[in-house]
Amino acid sequence: MFWNAVILALREIRRNVLRSFLTILGIVIGVAAVIVMVTLGDGATAQVTQQIASLGSNLLMVTPGKRMGPGQNVGAAPFTVEDAESLRRDIPQLAAVAPMASKSMSAIYGNANWSTQIAGSSNSYFEVRNWKTRTGRLFSDSELRSGAAICVIGGTVRSKLFGNQDPIGANIRLQNISCQVVGLLESKGQSTMGSDQDDVIIIPLRTFQRRIAGNQDVNIIQVSVRDGVSTARIQQDIERLLRERRHLSASDENNFNVMDMKEITAMLTSTTKIMTALLSAVGAVSLLVGGIGIMNIMLVSVTERTREIGIRLAIGAFEREVLMQFLVEAAVLSSFGGLVGITLALLSSVLLASLLKVPFIFNAPIVAVAFLFSGAVGLVFGYFPARKAAQLDPIEALRYE
């Protein structure tokens, strides 16, 4: 009975290829939208995770403020260079400690003007981030101590200000200071949430504090933990030390955060997740609309085929057999929409992933769910028309013209 219904359904679809195609368009778009969004979302998340992992799983970021991410000083005092000093002195398991302060501003060289991120830090920064120079050098101890007007630039800043010229030894203007380029960093490429890691100028922290910020603030301390040491343990040590230095009593909450890679990843991918969820919701609505489209066409089809239904019933078909026929037809139709949608989604995901430079990740569960869901949409929205067909009076149906 079931297979007969499937055969009848396929025959009916073959007879009305164009109409069938238009009927399933809503389902196709819905399924495709959901799968594309989830696939690209997965890709973006994987990329973020991978880039963060490339920083090293031994990295910890210490930021002032409560709970929220870096740069959000929710009523909490910034750190000082002394905080970073004491971390390095008192926690021997730390490989490097890089205090840092930063600000966006314009860098000018000749006629070229480029708005970028200026960060003040020490050589430890390059160590923590595992970053090397391509040409030139890093800072010397005396330059760091005296706050010399020198800088190390990223690949993007170089190409914007210097084109293909050699930047080493040139002087660029940052606000009111003239700053000599001593090093060019290796390219790290496009990154985390689409920001360009190479779009940066690093100067000694003291230079930054004295001549740009005009204060002693440290906005973030990045530390790397020695190999083979548990980051969780160190996280606790850092917290204990900083609570003491910031004079927090036992009842006070931390007014700073020590985040490891997992937490940073979660924070950075949360936006991607929200986007994915929103767009998937759009896809779900489209599936609903697709279902209503199927119901509409099935109702038209039942009316058109009243005579056929009359003949079937008169010949001895049971109500449930006619119900089954139309239900299966709707389900086959919508599953077919699901299959077309899946094919379309996978093709466009591959294409979009390569355009957006995120990895293509095949998410089998979501494809399976989308397929089953499209079939279910057919069953749900096909039920009403199918019942209408099954309950026709055979005599009335035969007289129908």
Partner 1 sequence: MAETTETDHVPLINLRSVTKTYGRGTAAMQALRGVDIAIEAGEFIAVMGPSGSGKSTCMNILGCLDTPTSGNYLFKGVEVGALSRDQRALLRRQYLGFVFQGFNLLNRTTALENVELPLMYRGDPLRTRHQLARTALDAVGLTGWEGHTPGELSGGQQQRVAIARAIVTRPALLFADEPTGSLDSSRSREIMEILTTLNREQGITIVMVTHEADMARYASRTIHFRDGLVVPEHETDHKGGH
Q: State how far the alpha carbon of 83 is from the alpha carbons of 64, 94, 170, 222, in Å.
A: 12, 14, 34, 12
Binding mask 60-99 for partner 1 (x = CB under 8 A): ----------------------------------------
- Provide the residue type at 268 as one letter: L
Verify binding: residue 313, partner 1, rule CB under 8 A.
Answer: yes
Verify binding: residue 314, partner 1, rule CB under 8 A.
Answer: yes
Q: How far apart are CA 387 and CA 369, in angstroms?
A: 27
Task: Name the residue nearer to partner 1 (CB basis): 52 or 313.
Answer: 313
**Cα 309 versus chain centre, distance:** 52
Verify binding: residue 18, partner 1, rule CB under 8 A.
Answer: no
Please compute, for residue 52, the number of CA atoms within 13 A of its CA located in the half-sphere on the CB side: 22
382 Cβ contact partners less than 8 Å away, ≥ 6 residues apart: 294, 295, 298, 326, 327, 329, 330, 331, 333, 334
Which of these ranges, 172-180, 189-197, 232-240, 307-315, lies near partner 1 under the rule CB under 8 A? 307-315
Verify binding: residue 53, partner 1, rule CB under 8 A.
Answer: no
Q: How far is the CB of 313 from partner 1 (least distance, A)?
A: 7
Verify binding: residue 300, partner 1, rule CB under 8 A.
Answer: no
Q: How far apart are CA 367 and CA 92, in angstroms?
A: 50
Verify binding: residue 388, partner 1, rule CB under 8 A.
Answer: no
User: Using CB under 8 A, which of 308, 363, 369, 387 touches partner 1?
Assistant: 308
Number of residues that bind partner 1 (CB under 8 A): 20
300 Cβ contact partners less than 8 Å away, ≥ 6 residues apart: none
- Residue closest to 132 by CA, chosen among 204, 179, 61, 202: 202
Task: Name the residue nearer to partner 1 (CB basis): 206 or 312.
Answer: 312
Which of these ranges, 32-40, 84-92, 258-266, 393-401, lies near partner 1 under the rule CB under 8 A? 393-401
Verify binding: residue 327, partner 1, rule CB under 8 A.
Answer: no
Verify binding: residue 4, partner 1, rule CB under 8 A.
Answer: yes
User: Using CB under 8 A, which of 6, 282, 317, 380 touches partner 1?
Assistant: 317
Task: Name the residue nearer to partner 1 (CB basis): 260 or 308.
Answer: 308
- Which tokens in the block code for residue 100? 């840092």
Q: How far apart are CA 367 and CA 32, in angstroms?
A: 10
Q: How far apart are CA 345 and CA 30, in angstroms?
A: 10
Binding site for partner 1 (CB under 8 A): 1, 4, 15, 307-308, 310-321, 394-395, 398
